[in-house]
Amino acid sequence: MQALIDAYDGVLFDLDGVIYLGPVAVPGAPPALAALRERQVQVGFVTNNAARTPAAVAEHLTELGIPAGAADVVTSAQAGAQVLARDLPRGAKVLAVGGEGVRQALAEVGLTSVATADDEPVAVLQGYGVELTWQHLIEASVAIHRGARWVATNDDPTRPTDRGLVPGNGAAVAAVRLAVSVDPEVAGKPYRPLLDETVARLGAHRPLFVGDRLDTDIRGAVNAGLDGLLVLTGSHGPADLLTAAPGSRPTHLGYDVGALLVPALDVEISGETARCGPATARVDGGSLVIDADTPGTLDGRVAATWAAAHLAWQAQDAGRPLDLGAALPALVVPAA
């Protein structure tokens, strides 16, 4: 039996919502990662969360039963620091806004972190940090007004946790943007620097990216020329998938990362009917419906979601979006 992963020589994993939800592992992620490593698949962990250092992220992964080292992790803070280091002289002052992950990333590339605009930084690197205060945002705004180059590690508006969605770095970036007249350069997903750095580090020729968000993970994979697997354990669900724009549509769908170890879901479309495994979706009078004999199991619902997505995308691209209301109740994937 050929598994989805057999078509690829490496996997890049987003973390929040894919591998873990805050302090807890997504159920099934540790054994799936162990199985991938038994197959000698190259694995890299990619995160837009710039708060923690790669070593801290690797330690957390190891605690969750997924052995990892700092070299296995690439953060958006590292990608942002690399963007600046390409153009700035060694030792240049950069206002570090965020957590320790931002400061360490700057140090790794030979740039000097400062904490106030009065230190005359030539750039601002803004990332997520739980200790972020309004004063940090004020300092960033002042520095940018004075001409400092502005790089944001990422602009995710939210991030998933074990307690639900909470504001992400994009919320803080938006606050600064309201006070200045320029947009930031963004290093993390969906922009290429973060994924390009990770692919280069893995040395993979045909890697797959696995994420839980369409707007950052899957769009980032598309931007970087990678195939993408969307999993339904984090931020985005069936309703988001069915309305995804062309540049944010995944190559594959799975409930969780265990989807890598089983055959890929295939969809057959005939006119306005789509079949995926045990599931059938069809268009009926401008509405998307799921056939009643589609199994209500987890596998059946995921298959139905994938079949429905292809019909919804086909209609959207033809300029006649479907009424999704009748289909959505059959596509809601239960929590693990």
Hey, what are 281's tokens? 């979706």
Residues facing 47 on adjacent strands: 75
| Given 9, 16, 119, 266, the catalytic residue | 16
Hey, what are 319's tokens? 């300029």
Q: What CA–CA distance (Å, rounded) separates 112 from 53?
A: 17
Told to judge if 14 belongs to the known catalytic residues of this protein, a careful annotator would answer yes
Q: What CA–CA distance (Å, rounded) separates 257 from 28?
A: 7
Contacts 24+ apart (CB under 8 A), 274-278: 274/307, 274/308, 274/310, 274/311, 275/307, 276/303, 276/304, 276/306, 276/307, 277/303, 278/303
The alpha-carbon radius of gyration of the chain (Å, integer) is: 21
φ, ψ of residue 302 to 5 degrees: the values are -65, -45
| Given 6, 14, 156, 284, the catalytic residue | 14
Q: Are strands 123-126 and 112-114 parallel, antiparallel or unpaired?
A: unpaired
Dihedral (Cα; 191, 193, 195, 200), 10-degree rounding: 160
Residue 74 burial class via C-beta count within 10 angstroms: exposed 0-12, middle 13-18, buried 19 and up: buried
Hey, what are 85's tokens? 């280091």
Q: Are 216 and 188 in contact (CB under 8 A)?
A: yes
* Sheet of strand 123-126, all strands in order from the earlier edge strand to the far edge: 112-114, 93-97, 123-126, 149-152, 185-186
In the block, which residue shows the tokens 């159920």? 27
Q: Which residues are catalytic?
A: 14, 16
